[in-house]
Amino acid sequence: MADFFQLLFSGLATGSIYALAALGFTLLWQASGTINFAQGEFVMLPAFAMLAFASFGMPMPLSFFLTIVLAIAVLGWAFKRGIVDPLFRYGMMQIVVATIGLSIAMRNGVRLTGAEAHPFPSLFADRIYNIAGVTVTQSDIGTLVLAMLLVIGTQAFLARTITGRAMQAVAQNTESASVLGINVPRMIFYTFAINAILACAAALLVTPVYLAKFDMGESLGTKAFFAAVIGGFNNSRGALLGGLIVGVGENLAAAYVSAAYKDAVALALFMVVILFKPQGLLGRKEERKV
Protein backbone atom coordinates (compact mmCIF):
# COMPACT_ATOMS: atom_id res chain seq x y z
CA MET A 1 0.00 0.00 0.00
CA ALA A 2 2.90 2.32 0.75
CA ASP A 3 4.03 1.76 -2.85
CA PHE A 4 0.67 2.90 -4.13
CA PHE A 5 0.83 6.08 -2.09
CA GLN A 6 4.40 6.66 -3.22
CA LEU A 7 3.22 6.56 -6.83
CA LEU A 8 0.17 8.64 -6.03
CA PHE A 9 2.15 11.39 -4.36
CA SER A 10 4.85 11.50 -7.03
CA GLY A 11 2.05 11.65 -9.57
CA LEU A 12 0.41 14.57 -7.76
CA ALA A 13 3.68 16.50 -7.80
CA THR A 14 4.13 15.92 -11.54
CA GLY A 15 0.44 16.59 -12.10
CA SER A 16 0.57 19.96 -10.40
CA ILE A 17 3.30 20.95 -12.89
CA TYR A 18 1.01 19.98 -15.78
CA ALA A 19 -1.78 21.89 -14.09
CA LEU A 20 0.22 25.12 -14.00
CA ALA A 21 0.88 24.96 -17.73
CA ALA A 22 -2.73 23.91 -18.37
CA LEU A 23 -3.90 26.98 -16.46
CA GLY A 24 -2.39 29.15 -19.20
CA PHE A 25 -4.51 27.39 -21.81
CA THR A 26 -7.74 27.85 -19.91
CA LEU A 27 -6.96 31.44 -19.00
CA LEU A 28 -6.31 32.59 -22.56
CA TRP A 29 -9.37 30.68 -23.73
CA GLN A 30 -11.67 32.07 -21.06
CA ALA A 31 -10.57 35.64 -21.33
CA SER A 32 -9.70 36.08 -24.98
CA GLY A 33 -10.91 33.02 -26.87
CA THR A 34 -7.49 32.04 -28.18
CA ILE A 35 -5.55 28.80 -27.93
CA ASN A 36 -1.79 29.13 -27.59
CA PHE A 37 0.09 26.02 -28.67
CA ALA A 38 3.37 27.63 -27.71
CA GLN A 39 2.36 27.40 -24.02
CA GLY A 40 5.16 24.92 -23.27
CA GLU A 41 7.73 27.26 -24.81
CA PHE A 42 6.23 30.14 -22.81
CA VAL A 43 7.46 28.21 -19.76
CA MET A 44 10.82 27.33 -21.32
CA LEU A 45 11.82 30.91 -22.25
CA PRO A 46 11.46 32.41 -18.73
CA ALA A 47 13.54 29.51 -17.39
CA PHE A 48 16.39 30.50 -19.68
CA ALA A 49 15.85 34.17 -18.96
CA MET A 50 16.20 33.51 -15.22
CA LEU A 51 19.36 31.50 -15.82
CA ALA A 52 20.74 34.31 -17.98
CA PHE A 53 20.05 36.96 -15.32
CA ALA A 54 21.47 34.67 -12.65
CA SER A 55 24.63 34.18 -14.71
CA PHE A 56 25.25 37.94 -14.42
CA GLY A 57 25.42 37.35 -10.69
CA MET A 58 21.92 38.51 -9.78
CA PRO A 59 20.16 36.81 -6.88
CA MET A 60 17.27 34.55 -7.81
CA PRO A 61 14.42 36.80 -6.56
CA LEU A 62 15.75 39.72 -8.62
CA SER A 63 16.21 37.63 -11.74
CA PHE A 64 12.69 36.24 -11.24
CA PHE A 65 11.31 39.78 -11.01
CA LEU A 66 13.23 40.96 -14.09
CA THR A 67 12.07 37.87 -15.96
CA ILE A 68 8.45 38.71 -15.14
CA VAL A 69 8.90 42.23 -16.51
CA LEU A 70 10.54 40.84 -19.63
CA ALA A 71 7.88 38.14 -20.01
CA ILE A 72 5.02 40.66 -19.78
CA ALA A 73 6.70 42.67 -22.52
CA VAL A 74 7.60 39.78 -24.81
CA LEU A 75 5.22 36.89 -24.07
CA GLY A 76 2.37 39.25 -23.18
CA TRP A 77 2.48 42.46 -25.18
CA ALA A 78 4.61 41.47 -28.17
CA PHE A 79 2.85 38.13 -28.55
CA LYS A 80 -0.54 39.83 -28.51
CA ARG A 81 0.43 42.65 -30.87
CA GLY A 82 2.58 40.60 -33.18
CA ILE A 83 0.58 37.40 -33.58
CA VAL A 84 -2.85 37.37 -31.97
CA ASP A 85 -4.12 40.85 -32.96
CA PRO A 86 -3.31 40.64 -36.67
CA LEU A 87 -4.69 37.10 -36.98
CA PHE A 88 -7.70 37.27 -34.67
CA ARG A 89 -10.16 38.42 -37.30
CA TYR A 90 -9.27 35.52 -39.59
CA GLY A 91 -10.34 32.95 -37.05
CA MET A 92 -9.06 30.42 -34.57
CA MET A 93 -7.26 28.10 -36.99
CA GLN A 94 -4.84 30.81 -38.09
CA ILE A 95 -3.87 31.53 -34.48
CA VAL A 96 -3.40 27.83 -33.76
CA VAL A 97 -1.10 27.40 -36.74
CA ALA A 98 0.80 30.59 -35.93
CA THR A 99 1.39 29.54 -32.31
CA ILE A 100 2.56 26.10 -33.42
CA GLY A 101 5.01 27.89 -35.71
CA LEU A 102 6.01 30.19 -32.87
CA SER A 103 6.73 27.20 -30.63
CA ILE A 104 9.04 25.67 -33.26
CA ALA A 105 10.82 29.01 -33.72
CA MET A 106 11.28 29.50 -29.97
CA ARG A 107 12.57 25.96 -29.45
CA ASN A 108 15.09 26.16 -32.22
CA GLY A 109 16.04 29.71 -31.38
CA VAL A 110 17.06 28.59 -27.89
CA ARG A 111 18.69 25.50 -29.37
CA LEU A 112 21.11 27.77 -31.23
CA THR A 113 22.62 28.75 -27.91
CA GLY A 114 23.19 25.10 -27.04
CA ALA A 115 21.28 21.84 -27.00
CA GLU A 116 22.47 20.76 -23.57
CA ALA A 117 20.41 20.65 -20.41
CA HIS A 118 21.29 23.03 -17.58
CA PRO A 119 20.62 22.51 -13.89
CA PHE A 120 18.25 25.01 -12.29
CA PRO A 121 18.23 25.97 -8.60
CA SER A 122 15.24 24.75 -6.65
CA LEU A 123 13.01 27.10 -4.73
CA PHE A 124 12.82 24.59 -1.90
CA ALA A 125 15.35 23.02 0.42
CA ASP A 126 16.71 19.64 -0.55
CA ARG A 127 14.90 17.85 2.25
CA ILE A 128 13.21 14.47 2.26
CA TYR A 129 10.36 13.43 4.55
CA ASN A 130 9.31 9.90 5.28
CA ILE A 131 5.63 9.61 6.10
CA ALA A 132 4.50 6.05 6.83
CA GLY A 133 6.90 4.54 4.30
CA VAL A 134 6.18 7.14 1.64
CA THR A 135 9.10 9.43 0.85
CA VAL A 136 8.29 12.93 -0.32
CA THR A 137 10.59 15.86 -0.96
CA GLN A 138 9.97 19.37 0.20
CA SER A 139 9.90 20.47 -3.44
CA ASP A 140 7.12 17.95 -4.23
CA ILE A 141 4.97 19.40 -1.46
CA GLY A 142 5.95 22.98 -2.25
CA THR A 143 5.19 22.61 -5.95
CA LEU A 144 1.82 21.06 -5.23
CA VAL A 145 0.82 23.75 -2.73
CA LEU A 146 2.05 26.69 -4.81
CA ALA A 147 0.44 25.35 -7.98
CA MET A 148 -2.88 25.02 -6.16
CA LEU A 149 -2.61 28.51 -4.74
CA LEU A 150 -1.87 29.96 -8.17
CA VAL A 151 -4.81 28.15 -9.75
CA ILE A 152 -7.23 29.13 -7.01
CA GLY A 153 -5.88 32.68 -6.94
CA THR A 154 -6.37 33.10 -10.67
CA GLN A 155 -9.87 31.66 -10.43
CA ALA A 156 -10.73 34.05 -7.62
CA PHE A 157 -9.29 37.01 -9.51
CA LEU A 158 -11.43 36.23 -12.55
CA ALA A 159 -14.59 35.61 -10.56
CA ARG A 160 -14.40 38.11 -7.72
CA THR A 161 -12.61 41.26 -8.85
CA ILE A 162 -14.07 43.93 -11.11
CA THR A 163 -11.14 43.66 -13.48
CA GLY A 164 -11.50 39.87 -13.59
CA ARG A 165 -15.21 40.09 -14.31
CA ALA A 166 -14.59 42.69 -16.97
CA MET A 167 -12.07 40.36 -18.56
CA GLN A 168 -14.65 37.58 -18.64
CA ALA A 169 -17.26 39.93 -20.05
CA VAL A 170 -14.91 40.85 -22.87
CA ALA A 171 -14.38 37.18 -23.66
CA GLN A 172 -18.10 36.42 -23.65
CA ASN A 173 -19.30 39.35 -25.71
CA THR A 174 -16.87 41.98 -26.87
CA GLU A 175 -19.49 44.36 -28.26
CA SER A 176 -21.67 44.45 -25.14
CA ALA A 177 -18.58 44.82 -23.01
CA SER A 178 -17.47 47.91 -24.89
CA VAL A 179 -21.01 49.33 -24.74
CA LEU A 180 -20.76 48.89 -20.97
CA GLY A 181 -17.68 51.05 -20.97
CA ILE A 182 -15.10 48.32 -20.51
CA ASN A 183 -11.76 49.10 -22.08
CA VAL A 184 -11.64 46.00 -24.29
CA PRO A 185 -8.05 46.12 -25.59
CA ARG A 186 -6.75 46.74 -22.09
CA MET A 187 -8.67 43.78 -20.65
CA ILE A 188 -7.33 41.49 -23.34
CA PHE A 189 -3.81 42.74 -22.65
CA TYR A 190 -4.29 41.98 -18.93
CA THR A 191 -5.10 38.39 -19.82
CA PHE A 192 -1.93 38.01 -21.82
CA ALA A 193 0.08 39.65 -19.06
CA ILE A 194 -1.33 37.30 -16.41
CA ASN A 195 -0.60 34.38 -18.69
CA ALA A 196 3.02 35.54 -18.98
CA ILE A 197 3.35 35.90 -15.20
CA LEU A 198 1.92 32.42 -14.66
CA ALA A 199 4.37 31.04 -17.20
CA CYS A 200 7.24 32.56 -15.20
CA ALA A 201 5.89 31.02 -12.00
CA ALA A 202 5.52 27.68 -13.74
CA ALA A 203 9.10 27.94 -15.01
CA LEU A 204 10.34 28.57 -11.49
CA LEU A 205 8.60 25.43 -10.19
CA VAL A 206 9.03 23.18 -13.20
CA THR A 207 12.63 23.71 -14.30
CA PRO A 208 14.45 22.18 -11.30
CA VAL A 209 12.75 18.91 -12.25
CA TYR A 210 12.60 19.22 -16.04
CA LEU A 211 16.06 20.88 -16.32
CA ALA A 212 16.46 23.94 -18.54
CA LYS A 213 16.61 22.61 -22.07
CA PHE A 214 15.38 23.90 -25.41
CA ASP A 215 12.80 21.13 -25.78
CA MET A 216 11.54 21.08 -22.19
CA GLY A 217 8.30 22.77 -23.26
CA GLU A 218 7.45 20.24 -25.92
CA SER A 219 6.01 17.42 -23.83
CA LEU A 220 4.93 19.85 -21.12
CA GLY A 221 2.81 21.80 -23.62
CA THR A 222 1.17 18.68 -25.01
CA LYS A 223 0.41 17.16 -21.62
CA ALA A 224 -0.92 20.50 -20.40
CA PHE A 225 -3.22 20.76 -23.40
CA PHE A 226 -4.61 17.28 -22.73
CA ALA A 227 -4.98 18.15 -19.05
CA ALA A 228 -6.84 21.36 -19.88
CA VAL A 229 -9.26 19.52 -22.18
CA ILE A 230 -9.79 16.71 -19.66
CA GLY A 231 -10.49 19.12 -16.82
CA GLY A 232 -12.55 21.53 -18.87
CA PHE A 233 -11.18 24.22 -21.11
CA ASN A 234 -13.31 27.00 -19.68
CA ASN A 235 -12.62 26.36 -16.01
CA SER A 236 -9.40 27.14 -14.13
CA ARG A 237 -10.10 24.52 -11.49
CA GLY A 238 -10.57 22.09 -14.36
CA ALA A 239 -6.95 22.70 -15.34
CA LEU A 240 -5.85 21.71 -11.86
CA LEU A 241 -8.03 18.60 -11.81
CA GLY A 242 -6.97 17.60 -15.34
CA GLY A 243 -3.29 18.06 -14.55
CA LEU A 244 -3.49 15.96 -11.41
CA ILE A 245 -5.46 13.21 -13.17
CA VAL A 246 -2.89 13.02 -15.98
CA GLY A 247 0.08 13.03 -13.58
CA VAL A 248 -1.31 10.33 -11.29
CA GLY A 249 -2.71 8.27 -14.17
CA GLU A 250 0.66 8.22 -15.91
CA ASN A 251 2.50 7.11 -12.82
CA LEU A 252 0.06 4.35 -11.94
CA ALA A 253 0.04 3.09 -15.52
CA ALA A 254 3.85 3.05 -15.64
CA ALA A 255 3.99 0.91 -12.50
CA TYR A 256 0.97 -1.37 -12.88
CA VAL A 257 0.56 -1.68 -16.67
CA SER A 258 3.80 -0.94 -18.51
CA ALA A 259 6.20 1.96 -18.67
CA ALA A 260 5.92 1.79 -22.44
CA TYR A 261 2.29 2.99 -22.27
CA LYS A 262 2.99 5.83 -19.83
CA ASP A 263 2.72 8.58 -22.42
CA ALA A 264 -0.42 7.06 -23.92
CA VAL A 265 -2.38 7.61 -20.70
CA ALA A 266 -2.97 11.32 -21.25
CA LEU A 267 -4.01 10.69 -24.82
CA ALA A 268 -6.38 7.86 -23.89
CA LEU A 269 -8.02 9.96 -21.14
CA PHE A 270 -8.26 12.86 -23.57
CA MET A 271 -10.11 10.72 -26.11
CA VAL A 272 -12.50 9.28 -23.55
CA VAL A 273 -13.36 12.75 -22.28
CA ILE A 274 -13.81 14.14 -25.79
CA LEU A 275 -16.17 11.27 -26.61
CA PHE A 276 -18.33 11.29 -23.50
CA LYS A 277 -18.03 14.74 -21.95
CA PRO A 278 -16.68 17.09 -24.61
CA GLN A 279 -16.85 20.12 -22.33
CA GLY A 280 -14.43 18.45 -19.89
CA LEU A 281 -14.98 17.18 -16.36
CA LEU A 282 -15.60 20.59 -14.78
CA GLY A 283 -16.36 22.59 -17.90
CA ARG A 284 -19.65 24.24 -18.87
CA LYS A 285 -21.31 23.75 -22.19
CA GLU A 286 -20.64 26.82 -24.24
CA GLU A 287 -22.49 28.06 -27.23
CA ARG A 288 -20.83 30.43 -29.61
CA LYS A 289 -22.03 32.25 -32.64
CA VAL A 290 -20.83 30.63 -35.84
Partner 1 sequence: MKKLILALALGALVITPAVAQQTIKIANIVELSGPGTTSGTNFKDGVMLAIKEINAAGGILGKQIESTTNDTQSNPGVAKGLTQKAIDQEVFAVFGPVFSGSIMVSMAETRRAEVPNFTGGEAASITQQGNPYVFRTSFTQATAMPKIARYITDQAKVKTLALIYVNNDFGKGGREMLMKALDKSPTKIVADISTDSGQVDFSAAVLKAKQSNADALFVYTNEEESARALRELRKQGWTKPVIGETVLTSQKVIELAGDAANGAVAHVGLTIDAPLPAIRAFRAKFEKEYKYICDHNGLKGYSGVYALKAAIEKVGKLDRKAVAKAMHTLKVKAADQPGILMDVEFDANGDLDRDSFLTEVKNGKQVITATLPPLGKKK
Q: Give the residues lining the site for partner 1 (CB under 8 A).
A: 3, 6-7, 10-11, 14, 115-117, 119, 126, 128, 130, 135, 137, 209-211, 213, 215, 219, 250-251, 254-255, 258-260, 262-263
Rounded to a whole number of angstroms, the minimum distance from the CB of residue 174 to partner 1 is: 39
Rounded to a whole number of angstroms, the minimum distance from the CB of residue 6 to partner 1 is: 6
Q: Which is nearer to partner 1, 9 or 29 (CB)?
A: 9
Q: Which is nearer to partner 1, 191 or 251 (CB)?
A: 251
Q: Helix 39-55 vs helix 92-112: angle between axes, to the nearest 10 degrees?
A: 30
Rounded to a whole number of angstroms, the minimum distance from the CB of residue 17 to partner 1 is: 8
Q: Which is nearer to partner 1, 96 or 209 (CB)?
A: 209
Q: How far is CA 80 from the centre of its chain?
A: 17
Rounded to a whole number of angstroms, the minimum distance from the CB of residue 11 to partner 1 is: 8
Q: Which is nearer to partner 1, 77 or 263 (CB)?
A: 263
Q: Which is nearer to partner 1, 148 or 254 (CB)?
A: 254
> What span, in angstroms and rounded, lies between the C-alpha atoms of 55 and 71?
18
Q: Which is nearer to partner 1, 138 or 178 (CB)?
A: 138
Q: Which is nearer to partner 1, 166 or 204 (CB)?
A: 204
Rounded to a whole number of angstroms, the minimum distance from the CB of residue 185 to partner 1 is: 38
> What span, in angstroms and rounded, lies between the C-alpha atoms of 169 and 171?
5
DSSP per-residue letters across the chain: -HHHHHHHHHHHHHHHHHHHHHHHHHHHHHHH----TTHHHHHHHHHHHHHHHHHTT--HHHHHHHHHHHHIIIIIIIHIIIIIHHHHTT-HHHHHHHHHHHHHHHHHHHHHT-SS-B----SS---EEEETTEEEEHHHHHHHHHHHHHHHHHHHHHHHSHHHHHHHHHHH-HHHHHHTT--HHHHHHHHHHHHHHHHHHHHHHHHHHH-B-TTHHHHHHHHHHHHHHHH-TT-HHHHHHHHHHHHHHHHHHHHHT-GGGTTHHHHHHHHHHHHH-TT-SSPPP-----
For residue 244, count other CB atoms closer than 10 A to its CB: 23
Rounded to a whole number of angstroms, the minimum distance from the CB of residue 47 to partner 1 is: 14
Q: Which is nearer to partner 1, 120 or 189 (CB)?
A: 120
Rounded to a whole number of angstroms, the minimum distance from the CB of residue 144 to partner 1 is: 14
Rounded to a whole number of angstroms, the minimum distance from the CB of residue 217 to partner 1 is: 12
